[in-house]
Structure 1
Amino acid sequence: MTTRRADYPCVLPGDPTWIHDARYVQDILNSLAAAAAIAHDHGDPEKYVLPHLPYQVAADTLGQIRSDMPPARPGVLFLMPLPAFQLEALWQALDVLRRAQDADADTDQVLDLVHDYATHCLLPPRSIDDVVTDTERILAVPSLDTPAVRTVATTLLLKGEHDDGFRSPRDELLDTWRAAGIKP
């Protein structure tokens, strides 16, 4: 279950493949931010649905996560604090991408930009469905808010014992990621 929540340390998997392989999503969000800024400067602030700032914050957040992830250590969990506004910007961008995927008339320009970028700038080319799926997968990791995540985060923050009270929620969290196709 993913929910939108307030500032809280995010628990991230030790294998950074889930975020490194999605560099192209960051590039698409950067492109949307630039296009939205230009549209705003030319008097059409709603051309890309959102103003440029949420797209830019979303892209910067992905970049921050990518650069702050330590070297791969499968099976290890990391804590990363992310302010709620950063996660909210990612959710806003995802909402627009989903609307574009559903062919919402207000998102025609977004769909055109994403389609052009994903089919002409990426190898292999990707579809809007791929972009949405990969963005959902990325966002699911730092947004996951379950009792297991809270227990793991609290134990790691307080440098608590890694006893059965920790191992069981940790294993549950790892299983959740595996079920979502994310290597922990």
Structure 2
Amino acid sequence: MNSTDVPRPVFLPSGPSWNAQARLVGEVLHTVAAAAARLLDDTRYLVPALTWQVAADQVRDCVTVDHHRDRLRILLLPAHVLEAIWSCRTALARTTGHDDDAERLAGLLDSSTRSTASACLACWTPWTRSSRSSPSTCLPPAPWPLASH
């Protein structure tokens, strides 16, 4: 295994509303991937079509049948998958400003869709020792006290 592709833990919320959102965001990313692939232009939507596709597949496929609202799940993801997800989130974030390069992406998706996708992708923050005491804000409130070490 390549040292840059060591699996990284990611904490994700669980529950029917987050699952539904992740499924929709996966479809949005797939739409961008298809548009980018059709045009054969790796810069038109800020990141290559394959990056959009890797992110779309992971986000869409992470949905579980665990519908308890007070749970979270831990996924171990290869670094290249997290990089793809964060590249797509960064591209979506660029559409909110006055970035000329992001205009084509902004024109492909409405602002509400871009905002929802960006918020969902923000949950995919890799856990590190320094993040132990500050879990991602997208996680549900823990039904137990978080230990600080």
TM-score bracket, shorter-length normalisation: 0.7 to 0.9
What does residue 161 of structure 1 align with?
none
Q: How far, CA to CA, are the matches of 1:17 and 1:148 in structure 2?
A: 29
Q: How far, CA to CA, are the matches of 2:48 and 2:33 in structure 1?
A: 8
Q: How far, CA to CA, are the matches of 1:74 and 1:45 in structure 2?
A: 39
Q: Could you say what secondary structure the match of 2:15 adopts?
A: coil
What does residue 142 of structure 1 align with?
124
Q: Could you say what secondary structure the match of 1:101 adopts?
A: coil
Q: How far, CA to CA, are the matches of 2:68 and 2:90 in structure 1?
A: 32
Report the CA distance between 1:132 and its aligned residue. 4.0
Q: Match for 1:56 among 48, 53, 57? A: 53
Q: How far, CA to CA, are the matches of 1:134 and 1:91 in structure 2?
A: 15
Q: How far, CA to CA, are the matches of 1:77 and 1:137 in structure 2?
A: 17
Q: Match for 1:78 among 64, 73, 83? A: 73
In the alignment of these two chains, the number of paired residues is: 137
Ranges in structure 1 where 5+ consecutive residues have no aligned partner: 116-127, 151-168
What does residue 94 of structure 1 align with?
89
C-alpha contact 2:11 2:127 (8 A) present in aligned 1: no
Report the CA distance between 1:33 and its aligned residue. 0.7
Residue 15 of structure 2 corresponds to residue 15 of structure 1 = yes
What does residue 29 of structure 1 align with?
29
Report the CA distance between 1:24 and its aligned residue. 2.8
Aligned alpha-carbon RMSD (Å): 2.8
C-alpha contact 2:11 2:125 (8 A) present in aligned 1: no
C-alpha contact 1:19 1:62 (8 A) present in aligned 2: no
C-alpha contact 2:27 2:60 (8 A) present in aligned 1: no
More helix by share: 1
Higher Rg: 1
What does residue 157 of structure 1 align with?
none
Q: Could you say what secondary structure the match of 1:12 adopts?
A: strand
**TM-score, length basis structure 2:** 0.73
Q: Could you say what secondary structure the match of 1:11 adopts?
A: strand
Report the CA distance between 1:147 and its aligned residue. 4.2
Ranges in structure 2 where 5+ consecutive residues have no aligned partner: 142-149
